[in-house]
Structure 1
Amino acid sequence: MPGAVAEGTGSEGPSRAAEDTDVLVIGAGPVGLTLATALRRQLLRVRVVDRATGPNREARADVIFPRAGEALGALGVGETIRRHAYEMRSLNFYGDGRHLGCFTAGRFDSDYPYAMTIEQHDIELLLAEELSGLGVDVEWRTEATDVRQRDDHALTTLRLPTGVTEMARASWVVACDGRRSTVRTRLGIPFDGKRRVNMQVVQGNVVPAWPLRDRPGQGYIFLGPRCTVLAFPTPGQGYRVFCIRDDPEPDRTEPPTLGELRDLVADTAGIPLLRLGPTESGWLSRARFSDRIAAEFRRGRVLLAGDAAHAWAPVGGHGMNIGMLGAHNLAWKLAAVHHRQAGDALLDSYDIEQRALARAVIRDMRFNITEILLPEPLHRVRTAVLRAALPWSGFQRRVEWLMSDFGRNHRDSPLSRQEVRRIGRQCRAGDRIPDVYVTREAGAEPVRLHRLLGYDRWTLLLAVARAEPAVVRRLERVCADYLAAIDIVPIAAVDRSSARQLAGVHHVTLVRPDGYVGLVAPLDDVDALRDYLAAFLVPRDPGPDHAAR
């Protein structure tokens, strides 16, 4: 095995292959594979190890929400996943067996306007195939048992399939090794939080026989006192049925039987003659969860991502999605610092932004009225509220905005600077840049704004109407002083609705590689742009003052 050092030799000298690693990713779940793919898109040399014997075959998460779909699209794998998924276009709500209304999706401008249902192991397979095409294969049965840091690298102890121990050297280590992260434990980073009491999740992949319409892209939510059942069609697996219920027997840990799952669904949905058949996988699960966030997401050259950094009860189904968005957030920052295009402040912002995102999701999902457990009187109130609210387009729009993750922002991040007053629906620093249709010049074909962005560069947007040659040259001179790639892109909104979501024509908008707005400033205030870039990026000819910072 290349890079192996026999255990007990006391040697820390890595092999040539180990020296070629920029980032060691520990864990080949969806977050680790997303991160590795993003790092390769940034031209870093990546190694991925996992202690499992091979690819996961067990059903786990099964939905990708629109913002995570956009992130995967930016990494070149979004369309591949969409071809293997169902796009969820509608969701029918029932309370005590009575139809309350139908929720429809797809209101917001995006190349990925719908949630996609696809089993986690299929996501991992597709991501692994993409990564292999980029020259990186997962090293299975390779367990990280310890990590130590030096000034310019980290040394990770790996137990190889042969039983030999290797001291693997890499410039950076990112632990995506789950809730019981070995790396987090070895570093002594607390995993603060507590268990959700009186809540269990009983779920499985089944083929139902019921008097309901079975159609790809149409799901069901059944509400009852102290139990909510979600049923989503999943490619090749019938339905994923997900029951959030109370926990009268907390010591009961064995998987549910098909009969137990059937009874839960039948009672909550009000379908006494329901029959459930097993899928080919026959997967059934009973689980309980805690809400926990690591005290640090970065310690020197070691970072935590995914469930190693944060984990919570699967209410809302956002755990995998937030982990993927974290990987999308981290990779470009890590690459910029590694390539000496940015200072440490940029990488430190990953901890700040991802921690705030995790806390917000935990908070918001505690108030998810469709999935929280309610006693009979409050359940009746919820049923009445939903029956009245579902026909209202404003209610549906607000729910879709929350569930899509488009509204998740980094407004409180040190990377977000708003130098002008925001008017109406205009995006502001820290927001995801809206994916509205724009043109680059008069008479040109409209194009979605996100297609003008790039994960390998920053993008400075300004209005076509103000893009005189002298103005563009002035902006180019400022951007050219920095090593990071910055594109200057004049745009014009195609309609009033799109224009209202973008900054005004007298402003510039600096968009980060991950599609979030970093700076909104007056077009004529070049110093605001220069100060922002100087705070985070490395100039081409750093002087002594910058080096001191």
Structure 2
Amino acid sequence: MTMFGGKNPEVLVVGAGPVGLFAALSLARLGVRVEIVDRQWRTRAHSYALALHGQSLQMLGELGLAESIVERAYRVNSVGLYDASDRRAEMRISELGGPFPFVAVMPPDQLERVLERALEQCGVKVRWNHEVARLVTRTNRGVSATIHRLQKQSTGYAIAHTEWVVADTAQLEVVAEVHNPPQRSLPEQVLSLLAEGVVLTRAKLRDALAVKNERLGEALESLERAGRLRRTQGGWQRLD
């Protein structure tokens, strides 16, 4: 059976972070049939500072999103350089000119929500819990990818079914086959959630995986002993 509502996308974007969402939205606004997948269950749960410079804001402005983003951001007009407590120099961003003479600082999840809502208005929804397992370039058939759709269960995340994406002459044909492959181990699921520098507390991991605290503790300790995780003030972080 076909995926994506029976319509073959021309572009498959992998990763629904700010860059992936922006790319998908730009393509959709140009009339390109695009789909976007991400192995996470939603926008990023962790928070860190995201700084948008004038050129980035201009690009977002071309999509009609700059005003909405600036309203949510903290404006930085100058940056001071210090040596201990002594202020040595100052960079005045406000003197650079242009339509956005400042740096807009905001949590990345807020930017992602703005981009995701704009993408939905174009009729494109992010397919969360979808993981690209393999990508193969074929000489005569273009590119094919194996995509796992993860399904949250009482024991964690399991592969609900696998889709094969085949790109032929600038089109992606997606075929899905439902089956019941073996479930990934709990340590593997933990590592998947902590990919790409994500830092999550034990409580957030427990809620995301829907497992008992004792089982999660055993998995975290085994991964820590193996040198694959470490504890930080903000939570657990993957090392490989």
Same fold (TM over 0.5): yes
Sequence identity percentage: 25
- How far is 1:286 from its partner? 7.7
Within a 5 Å distance, the mapping from 1:54-73 to structure 2 comes to 54-73=42-61
Higher Cα radius of gyration: 1
Post-superposition CA distance 1:80-106 (Å, at most 9, x none): 211111121122332121233433212
Q: Is the 8 A contact 1:154 1:172 kept in 2?
A: no
- Secondary structure at the residue paired with 1:72? helix
Match of 1:53 in 2: 41
- Secondary structure at the residue paired with 2:25? helix
Match of 1:161 in 2: 150
Distance, in Å, in 1 between the alignment partners of 2:12 and 2:55 is 26
Distance, in Å, in 1 between the alignment partners of 2:19 and 2:87 is 37
- How far is 1:75 from its partner? 2.4
Change (3 A) 1:72 1:23: same
- How far is 1:33 from its partner? 0.4
Q: Which has the higher strand share?
A: 2
Q: Is the 8 A contact 1:107 1:113 kept in 2?
A: yes
Distance, in Å, in 2 between the alignment partners of 1:142 and 1:26 is 9
Q: Is the 8 A contact 2:73 2:105 kept in 1?
A: yes
After TM superposition, what 4+ stretches of structure 1 lie above 6 angstroms from structure 2? 284-289
Structure 2's unaligned 5+ residue stretches are 152-159, 173-227
Distance, in Å, in 1 between the alignment partners of 2:11 and 2:229 is 41
Match of 1:143 in 2: 131
Distance, in Å, in 1 between the alignment partners of 2:66 and 2:15 is 21
- How far is 1:154 from its partner? 2.7
Whichever residue aligns with residue 39 of structure 2, its letter is R
> What is the count of residue pairs matched by the alignment?
175
- Secondary structure at the residue paired with 2:128? coil
Distance, in Å, in 2 between the alignment partners of 1:110 and 1:36 is 27
Match of 1:454 in 2: none
Distance, in Å, in 1 between the alignment partners of 2:239 and 2:150 is 32
Question: Which of the residues 93, 118, 136 maps onto 1:105?
Answer: 93
Question: Which of the residues 254, 257, 263 maps onto 2:231?
Answer: 254
Distance, in Å, in 2 between the alignment partners of 1:60 and 1:172 is 37
Distance, in Å, in 1 between the alignment partners of 2:20 and 2:123 is 16
- How far is 1:41 from its partner? 1.6
Distance, in Å, in 1 between the alignment partners of 2:229 and 2:137 is 42
Q: Is the 8 A contact 1:158 1:165 kept in 2?
A: yes
- Secondary structure at the residue paired with 2:127? coil
Match of 1:336 in 2: none
Distance, in Å, in 2 between the alignment partners of 1:26 and 1:131 is 15
Distance, in Å, in 1 between the alignment partners of 2:90 and 2:236 is 28
Within a 5 Å distance, the mapping from 1:501-520 to structure 2 comes to none
Post-superposition CA distance 1:419-458 (Å, at most 9, x none): xxxxxxxxxxxxxxxxxxxxxxxxxxxxxxxxxxxxxxxx
Question: Which of the residues 75, 83, 88 maps onto 2:71?
Answer: 83
Within a 5 Å distance, the mapping from 1:419-438 to structure 2 comes to none
TM-score (norm 2): 0.63
- Secondary structure at the residue paired with 1:130? helix
Q: Is the 8 A contact 2:54 2:100 kept in 1?
A: yes
- Secondary structure at the residue paired with 2:117? helix
Match of 1:74 in 2: 62
Q: Is the 8 A contact 1:153 1:172 kept in 2?
A: no
- Secondary structure at the residue paired with 2:232? coil
Q: Is the 8 A contact 1:24 1:172 kept in 2?
A: no
Change (3 A) 1:134 1:16: closer
Whichever residue aligns with residue 231 of structure 2, its letter is E
Q: Is the 8 A contact 1:144 1:159 kept in 2?
A: yes
Change (3 A) 1:77 1:93: same
Whichever residue aligns with residue 3 of structure 1, its letter is T
Change (3 A) 1:33 1:253: same
Larger RCO (CA under 8 A, 6+ residues apart): 2
